């Protein structure tokens, strides 16, 4: 069983990409329309749902709606949400980003749901919320490509952080080796972010690229494919399925 801890299923279906019955998915919505476009997979026992206000589209979804979904069990995680200061256009909204991130964090805490974080040049901002983040069942850093030092910083704050590796996390070979070697196996996840973040030379990402990510992890971690797969499946199951 593979795990795609961050995907946008409606956009994949729009490109006629099919889902595998051998994969657990956590599919993210940033709008009501996107959430509703999941109807065809709503009953699929391997598909889980998250919804959040993306830092790129701060007014597209309201916290009240996210809270309603959390309360009714329609979502099993909050996000993707976070801080993105990568461009001047995004950085200018930092205070609104911070405010909405805090609000979503509060919902995740109230309903004890994991948070899916999108972060670019915003790690220090995120770390300022450490005390609240440490009270969540888990925090998934989607498309993780930072350093072992960042992992330690999160561990020191007692944040139950999970590091989700997609094809973009594997681009810089030297950095990747060091980064992935430092991720504890019980805090490792895989993702495609499909149809976004295509692998080098391709136009779109595809749910099928997951297998090559697991292959790369197995080489770097010097562990068998089946061990890596089992660990990652356990990690996502612990996060998303409540007893
Ligand atoms: Zn995404």
pLDDT tens-place string over residues 182-237:
999 999 999 999 999 888 888 898 888 899 999 999 999 999 999 999 999 999 99
Residue 153 tokens, joined: 């910083």
Over residues 18-34, the pLDDT tens digits come to 899 999 999 999 999 99
| Contact yes or no for 48/82 (Cβ under 8 A) | no
Provide DSSP, 169-190.
GGSSHHHHHHHHHTS-GGGEEE
Distance 199 CA to ligand 1 centre (A): 14
Ligand 1 centroid to residue 9 C-alpha, Å: 10
Answer whether 125's CB lies under 8 Å from 83's CB. Answer: yes
What is the whole-number distance in angstroms between the Cα of residue 210 and the centre of ligand 1?
Answer: 15
Confidence of residue 171 (pLDDT cuts 50, 70, 90): confident
| Gap from CA of 25 to ligand 1 centroid (Å) | 13
Which residues does residue 81 pair with via DSSP β-bridges, in sequence order?
Answer: 117
Q: What domains, with CATH codes, occur in the chain?
A: 2-240 (3.20.20.140)
| pLDDT at res. 176 | 85
Q: What is the pLDDT of residues 103-160, one digit of tens each?
A: 999 999 999 999 999 999 999 999 999 999 999 999 999 999 899 999 999 999 999 9
> What is the 3-state composition of the chain as percent helix, strand, coil, each rounded to the nearest 5?
45, 20, 35
Helix 94-111 vs helix 63-71: crossing angle, to nearest 10: 10
Sequence-ordered list of residues with C-beta below 8 angstroms from that of 185, at least 6 positions apart, any chain: 221, 223, 227, 228, 231
**Global pTM?**
0.96
Query: 229 C-alpha vs ligand 1 centroid, how far in Å?
Result: 22
User: pLDDT higher for 35 or 208?
Assistant: 35
């Amino acid at each position: 069983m593979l795990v795609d801890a961050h995907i946008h299923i409606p956009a994949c279906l729009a490109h006629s990409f099919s889902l595998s019955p051998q994969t657990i998915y956590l599919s993210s919505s940033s709008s009501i329309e996107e959430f509703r476009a999941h109807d065809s997979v709503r009953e699929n026992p391997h598909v889980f749902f998250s919804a959040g206000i993306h830092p790129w589209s701060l007014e597209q979804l309201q916290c009240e709606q996210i809270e309603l979904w959390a309360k009714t069990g329609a979502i099993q995680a909050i996000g993707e949400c976070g801080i993105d200061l990568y461009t001047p256009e995004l950085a200018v909204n930092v205070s609104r980003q911070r405010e909405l991130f805090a609000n979503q964090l509060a919902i995740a805490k109230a309903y004890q749901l994991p948070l899916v974080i999108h972060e670019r040049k915003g790690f220090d901002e995120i770390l300022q919320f450490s005390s609240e983040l440490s009270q969540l069942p888990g925090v998934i850093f989607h498309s993780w490509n930072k350093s072992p030092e960042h992992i330690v910083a999160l561990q020191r704050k007692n944040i139950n952080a999970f590091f989700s590796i997609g094809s973009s996390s594997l681009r810089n070979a030297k950095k990747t080796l060091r980064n992935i070697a430092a991720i504890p196996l019980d805090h490792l996840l895989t993702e495609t972010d499909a149809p976004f973040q295509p692998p080098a030379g391709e136009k779109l990402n595809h749910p099928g690229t997951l297998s090559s990510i697991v292959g790369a992890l197995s080489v770097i971690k010097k562990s068998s494919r089946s061990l890596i797969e089992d660990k990652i499946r356990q990690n996502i199951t612990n996060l998303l399925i409540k007893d």
